[in-house]
Structure 1
Amino acid sequence: MDRDTPLRIVFDLDGTLIDSAPDIRQAANTVLAREGVPPLDRDEVQSFIGNGAPVFVDRMMAARSLPEANRDRVLDAFLDLYETAVDLTTPYPDVIETLARLCADGHALGLCTNKPESPARAVMQHLDLDGFFDVVIGGDTLPRRKPDPSPLLAAFHALGQGAAIYVGDSEVDAATAEAAGIPFLLFTEGYRKAPPADLPHAARFSAWPDMPALLHYAHVR
């Protein structure tokens, strides 16, 4: 296949395109204050992100020894705040310029995140990212979420035919790409917990302007 042929490129959101930990932390700590327990620090919040809002809340509750009987109330309160948690979130440097370049080059772009679809769309609209993507798959769009490969495969299916590559930042993203049989580009400045060498990936990058030069890995199996 011609390496100049436009690709299907799907991205993770939190920790990949955007630094959303400050907003997630604010929502979490608002809920924890109502429960009468100490707040989470940035490192705790970042370590809990990646498997979707329900798992985040489970980890948050465990970290503050909140009783399981409170889970429904705590989850509902967190999700209510999470819907509009956009004010402290920022794109990583050069993300917007890189997405614009990829679109100008004719690539089809999609998003596959474990963030619930409604807050994902809200923050994308707030940051003017929504116009870049032809498909958005959130953590609650389908019955299963990453690392199950079905959301990622659904995103690629919606983008049509052609070589494919997935871009993410975490262990969850690496496992999802591996399960789907899709080449994976690792953004190293996000929310991963393990060293980059421990995550299966075709290539990695730390600055967004360097990412387009790695697209040839879409043709490597």
Structure 2
Amino acid sequence: MSAHPSPEAPAIVFDLDGTLVDSAPDICAVANAVLAGEGAAPLTLAEARGYVGSGADMFVRRMRAARGLPDAEHDRLLAAFLDRYEGAVEHSALYPGVLDALALLTARGHALGVCTNKPIGPTRTVLAHFGLAHRFAAVLGGDSLAVRKPDPAPLLAVFAELGAPGGLYVGDSEVDAETADRAGVPFLLFTEGYRKAPVETLTHAAAFAHFDRLAPLVEARASRSA
């Protein structure tokens, strides 16, 4: 499915975990199920949040390192993690205002997409679970291409599928900020996700703490560009 946004309604691409969805509780639960099978201590929710953002492979590497599990077990533990991760939605929640913001942006003619490092299977499961799949004309996961964020290729591929040369990227993390910068698109920073660094250290065009502020920010930028 493709779309052709107008300059007055630029395409908008979103990160998923930590941006639209607080999924860390489910990711933590999946990790702890795997760790329990190894006789290892569970992760705290804070640890799990800190490991999110660079894809499942890196999450498991960080999890292993934190619990002293050997490198030789990586592939087996990653497979066990992914097997449980596919349907992990029980403890996830949309951030406040997400549904209304997406509906408003759609009504105003913005083509919407998702670019995440979450594997595409769990990505589609989460979008379907929250009734969001129909909002997005293009969705790429961390295993959709040979590279993942902060390489700009996945983000640029989503814009291309939306029929747009560029637009706006909305995310919550250092990885998202670097991705947008390398892709040459303005970055809107959601400050309530899984960011580790101070807001002022991340390159961004604007920041917001609640999704009721997103549409006004987008409209303001479109007005300046008109």
Q: TM-score, normalised by structure 2?
A: 0.94
How many pairs were matched up?
A: 218
Q: Which of these residues, 201, 218, 221, is aligned with residue 217 of structure 1?
A: 221
Distance in 1, matches of 2:151 and 2:164, equals: 21
Q: Does residue 122 in structure 1 map to residue 121 in structure 2?
A: no
Q: Which of these residues, 148, 153, 157, is aligned with residue 154 of structure 1?
A: 157
Instruction: Kindly indicate whether the alpha-carbon contact (under 8 Å) linking 1:183 and 1:217 is maintained by their aligned counterparts in 2.
Output: no
What do you get for the CA RMSD once the two structures are aligned? 1.3
Which segment drifts farther, 67-76 or 8-17?
67-76
Distance in 1, matches of 2:117 and 2:132, equals: 17
Distance in 1, matches of 2:186 and 2:117, equals: 19
Q: Does residue 179 in structure 1 map to residue 182 in structure 2?
A: yes
Distance in 1, matches of 2:136 and 2:208, equals: 21
Amino acid at match of 2:177: A
Q: Which consecutive unaligned segments of at least 5 residues does structure 2 have?
A: 1-5
Percent identity between matched residues is 56
Query: What is the Cα deviation at residue 217 of structure 1?
Result: 3.2
Which residues in structure 2 correspond to 1:102-141 (within 5 Å)?
Answer: 102-141=105-144
1:34-70 Cα offsets, whole Å, 9 max, x none, are 0001000011000000000000000000000001111
Which residues in structure 2 correspond to 1:5-44 (within 5 Å)?
Answer: 5-44=8-47
Task: Name the SS of the counterpart of 1:186 in structure 2.
Answer: strand
Instruction: Kindly indicate whether the alpha-carbon contact (under 8 Å) linking 1:8 and 1:156 is maintained by their aligned counterparts in 2.
Output: yes
1:143 equivalent in structure 2: 146
Q: TM-score, normalised by structure 1?
A: 0.96
Task: Name the SS of the counterpart of 1:141 in structure 2.
Answer: coil
Distance 1:162 1:147, change over 3 A: closer
Distance 1:162 1:154, change over 3 A: closer
Q: Does residue 94 in structure 1 map to residue 112 in structure 2?
A: no
Runs of 4+ off more than 6 Å: none
Instruction: Kindly indicate whether the alpha-carbon contact (under 8 Å) linking 2:166 and 2:185 is maintained by their aligned counterparts in 1.
Output: no
Which segment drifts farther, 62-71 or 159-168?
159-168
Query: What is the Cα deviation at residue 6 of structure 1?
Result: 1.4
Distance 1:43 1:155, change over 3 A: same
Q: Which consecutive unaligned segments of at least 5 residues does structure 1 have?
A: none
Distance in 1, matches of 2:166 and 2:71, equals: 45
2:78 equivalent in structure 1: 75
Distance 1:75 1:162, change over 3 A: closer
